[in-house]
Chains A and B, each alone.
Chain A
Amino acid sequence: MPGYSPQRQGERGFSLLLIVFSATAFWQSYAISGFTGLSTPGVFPMLASATMLVSAVCLLLQNIDRRNIPGSSQTSAASVLPLRIVVMLMLITGYLFAMPLIGFILSSAVFLFLSFSYLWRKPILVSLLVTGGSVAFVYLIFRKLFQVVLPKGSLLQGMF
């Protein structure tokens, strides 16, 4: 992927996290059937997690190596997780958790309106219109044409 500097803020932390994750995965793989045989269900998971562990350790070592190279500029934390992503992640999480409660149509409409207003910054009426159009489009195409069942809200008892 072009445009990213090879050294990023928090990359070492990320590698460490991957090491911890891989080690836990290895321990859990070992717990499946231990070292009791070479064709047991646990062997392949152990091989996979061991591979992950080794490559994660290699990556951390490479990172530490690169630290002292002059001119290896570190990008700021904001470039990996800027405010816009955090806000959108919160909106998405809220949307997905609200969907089983208030239904697909209502939750999608609210989510789309909020995200259009935040990302697109057009007058409210425009955002509202595009929201209405998008929800109608998704509903017609998927519910009517593709016959897909859309989540209905448990709170509103199938109203939406």
Chain B
Amino acid sequence: MSEVISNLAIVWTDPWLLFLTAAGTLSGIYVGAIPGLSVTMATSILISFTFKWPVNDALALITGIFMGGVYGGSRSAILLNIPGAPSAIATAIEGYPMAKRGEAGEAIGLTTVMSVIGGFIGIAALATLAPVISSFAILFNSRDYLLLGLIGILLVGTLSGESFAKGVFAGALGVLIGMIGLDPMTAEGRFTFGNVSLMGGIPYVAAMIGFFGVAEALVQLHQLDVAVVRQKVDRIVPKLHDVKRYLGLALRASGIGTIIGALPGTGGDIAALLAYDHARHSTKDPDVPFGKGCKEGLVAPEAANNAAVGGAYIPMLTLGIPGDAVTAVIIGALFIHGLKPGPLLLVETPHLFWFIVGALLLANSCLLVFGLTGIRIFSKIVECPKGVLIPLIIVLSAVGTYAIQNNPVHIYWMLLFGVIGYFMKMYGYQVGPVILGVILGPMMDSNYRRAMLGARGDVSTFLWNFVSHPISFILSLALIIMLLSQTPLLRWFHHWRSSDHQRGI
């Protein structure tokens, strides 16, 4: 127990780590708030700069950025009606009308306090549940990891994109990209075309920066001319009776956020939308109608998306399965630092787990300080013209990609992925599943082959194992239900049932 507390306290007592976490949170708020910059983009670029740092320093900074970024999106949603991040879409629906009524300060204050409450609940869930899940996850075998990987990619693909087929395509493309290079089991080349530079595989940081940095910057060029409307901000610290009044809702929304965040493949954006929906259904008699600046509709998504941060760390640290695009990038960072996220992380390196929990707690506390101050300078920075911002993103992406191995070839990979990502985004394909596929693909491949070898290459034994082992069975069932719910089969079935009823059968 004393060891746990001393590891939790490292980040609070070491001045340099304290500074890094605080700086990360502060810059995260701006990154999340500036439309055109995303947390995923910032994290993927930062990883390349921090990979030579000691693990603790890098983790402190990245944790701060993640926590701050999820919150930061709410500010531009309230002040500019532009959600700085997808998780702030619901916030814009209620926050912007409040700002137009001159209640921007109140809206910002309330979202800050509720985000912090949500954040703490998510972290508490991480601290209590992760050790339990991790001891349970040791029972998982290769089949189960294969299933978890599939479920993760499919969830990201189905929930974030405009069509299931596009999500599946993106995920499979990622898996294929992850296969390039020498096969780790037999050292046989896959898609290397005899080229030595391809044997080490595709540098996945270059892929991340290409898909999230360059592609996103190119897409942003379409919206260069969006006019910015400035809002008046006055009182920021929220009224105590407001906090008390919405605390119950915030707690329920945090519960939703933590669970959604913890599901592999779903993150803050979906958590926020579901919590918003919950607020709409559970609030019988709102003071202001929903969509017109209703505080319930502001509190719920903000508490939920910050709770989802702690939640998202659960599958990432215990199973090695990233919860969403940002955690997919963070898991990449952990790998680069030689850590192996998975059930053994808590057994082999418990100090790191508690360090991360401590850093999350600190980042969340910083949020309260930074969230309630510095609004005036904030509005100025957020209005940074896109004509300046976009070229700068390109320069930073190039530096970031080069920094990993000082190899100019990686920059060309980044450009290629950037262009591919741009067209995919323009045609409605999400790039999140691609990155998830790149990270999870090699893991799924080796687990599939291990499971197949375990069944001595016999297909019927292999398939039977999915049904005969309880954990595999439950996971398979979840996968099948997910697949069925996305195919027209279910619709046909309903149609067939209803037409039967009509005929009186």
Contacts and interface: CB of A to CB of B under 8 A. Distances in A.
B218 A88 contact: yes
A38 interface: yes
A100 B409 CA distance: 10
Contacts of A138: 395-396, 399
Interface residues on chain A, size class: 35 or more
B452 interface: yes
B408 A44 contact: no
A4 B185 CA distance: 44
B406 A149 contact: yes
A62 interface: yes
Contacts of B411: 96, 99
A11 B162 CA distance: 14
B399 A142 contact: yes
A130 B169 contact: no
* Max chain A C-beta neighbours (<10 A), residue from B392, B452, B462: B392
B389 to A, nearest CB: 9
Contact of A151 (B176, B186, B408, B462): B408
Contact of A148 (B162, B403, B426): B403
B190 A42 contact: yes
A9 B188 CA distance: 41
A133 to B, nearest CB: 10
Contacts of A95: 394, 398
Given A88-B218, A138-B399, A93 B459 contact: no
Contacts, number: 169
B233 to A, nearest CB: 27
Given A6-B162, A38-B457, A58-B165, A146 B49 contact: yes
A96 B46 CA distance: 20
B176 A49 contact: yes
Contact of A104 (B50, B186, B399, B422): B399
Interface string B175-192: 110010001011010110
Interface residues on chain B, size class: 35 or more
Contact of A41 (B188, B402, B422): B188
B425 A82 contact: no
A72 B356 CA distance: 50
Contacts of A6: 162, 428
A4 B218 contact: no
Contact of A111 (B185, B391, B448): B391
Contacts of A93: 415
Query: Chain B: interface secondary structure?
Result: helix
Given A11-B427, A116-B387, A149-B403, A45 B176 contact: yes
A89 B175 contact: no
Contacts of A28: 191
B453 A52 contact: no
B440 to A, nearest CB: 11
Given A6-B162, A100-B408, A116-B388, A45 B448 contact: no
Interface of B: 49-50, 52, 162-163, 165-166, 168-169, 172-173, 175-176, 179, 183, 185-186, 188, 190-191, 214, 218, 221-222, 224, 385-388, 390-392, 394-396, 398-399, 402-403, 406, 408, 411-412, 415, 418-419, 422-423, 425-428, 437, 441, 444-445, 448-449, 452-453, 457, 459, 462
15 contacts: A6-B162, A6-B428, A11-B427, A28-B191, A29-B176, A39-B453, A41-B188, A41-B190, A48-B175, A82-B222, A89-B218, A92-B418, A93-B415, A115-B387, A115-B390
Interface of A: 1, 4, 6, 8, 11, 14, 18, 25, 28-29, 32-33, 37-39, 41-45, 48-49, 51-52, 55-56, 58-59, 62, 79-80, 82, 84-85, 88-89, 92-93, 95-96, 99-100, 104, 108, 111-112, 115-116, 119-121, 130, 134, 138, 142, 146-151
Minimum-distance CB pairs A-B, first 9? A120-B387, A119-B387, A115-B391, A41-B183, A51-B172, A44-B445, A39-B452, A55-B169, A48-B175
